[in-house]
Amino acid sequence: MKFVNLLFWLLWRIWFYIVLASIIMLLFPLLIISILKEEWYPFFFRLAQLWAWGILYAMGFYPKIVREQEFKKGESYMLIANHTSMTDVMLMLIIAKNPFVFVGKKELSKIPLFGFFYKRTCILVDRDSPKSRMEVYQRAQKRLNQGLSICIFPEGLVPEDESVILADFKDGAFRLAIEHQIPIVPMTFYDNKKRFSYTFFSGSPGIMRAKVHEFIPTAGFTVDDKKAIRDKAWDVIYKELNKENN
């Protein structure tokens, strides 16, 4: 039985990358057109949403989303969530209704095919480089000025210890949100670690639940309030995850 389980997980993980690449190839002509001009990014975003839906359903993941507050069309937001799985990217894409840009680690740009579009549409960060972090900040400001939203997983990296419920948040997302006076949208992803963690021989198809919590306003706040807002966002997600685990 153990051998059968290991074989299932191996084939299932391989299937994930096959599906990921196949949908990109299917959409390739449209994806290429969509990245030719920066102002065409919303079109690229809709294609990315199709890609995300395709992967989740092909893997047997069925999103179930609870919303305490709805997005307003044309508004910019700072989207944040706990980060435990590669599927966090796909789930975020189908939850958000307004086009947003990911801030993500540059290492993902090395993934064949996926990386080609990733480095041309996302804001890449080298976490070991202070210069890179400053450039990320400037590019994010530019995107917000264009009316887009930004998505940052504020833990920075997926915790190596999977027993960690929620790692400490870094400041970048909250500083940007305050400076642009845009709401922060905290989200809890309940099942992504269980469904498809970074532990290779693990996971299973099933329901993938998420909650969009009430937005945290930043209007009227200053950078001096950054820590209080960051801690408030952390508390919202931690309490939800902790409640789930108890």
57-86 pLDDT, tens digit per residue, is 999 999 999 999 999 998 999 999 999 999
> In which residue ranges of the chain is pLDDT below 50?
none
pLDDT confidence of residue 225: 95
Q: Residue 41: inside a domain, yes or no?
A: no
In Å, how far are 36, 111, 166 from 153, measured between CA atoms?
27, 20, 11
pLDDT confidence of residue 238: 96
Rounded to 10 deg, the angle between the 41-58 and 2-34 helix axes is 160
Burial group, residue 139, by CB count within 10 angstroms (0-12, 13-18, 19+): middle
Q: Residue 43: inside a domain, yes or no?
A: no
Place of tokens 């997005």: 71
Q: Residue 28: inside a domain, yes or no?
A: no
Tell whether the torsion through CA atoms of 17, 62, 11 and 22 is positive or negative: negative
**Residue 155 neighbours by CB distance under 10 Å:** 20
Q: Residue 38: inside a domain, yes or no?
A: no
pLDDT confidence of residue 1: 58
Count of CA atoms in the C-beta half-sphere (13 A) of 136: 26
Tokens of 123: 């804001």
Q: Residue 104: inside a domain, yes or no?
A: yes
Is 144 within 8 Å of 76 (Cβ atoms)? yes
User: What is the number of structural domains in the chain?
Assistant: 1
Helix (H) or strand (E) run with residue 177 in it = helix 172-180
The distance from CA 166 to its chain's CA centroid, rounded to whole angstroms, is 15
**Which residues are CB-contacts of 192 (< 8 A; sequence separation ≥ 6)?**
84, 85, 87, 88, 91, 208
Q: Residue 54: inside a domain, yes or no?
A: no
Tokens of 16: 């994930």
Helix (H) or strand (E) run with residue 12 in it = helix 2-34
Beta strand pairing call for 206-212 and 78-81: unpaired
Q: Residue 22: inside a domain, yes or no?
A: no
The domain spanning residue 189 has which CATH number? 3.40.1130.10
Helix, coil or strand: residue 235? helix
**What's the domain range around 92?**
60-245
Q: Residue 4: inside a domain, yes or no?
A: no
221: nearest Cα among 182, 178, 173, 183: 178
Beta-ladder partners of 216? 184
pLDDT confidence of residue 164: 87
pTM of the model: 0.93
87: nearest Cα among 201, 169, 210, 186: 210
Rounded CA gap, 75 and 159, in Å? 31
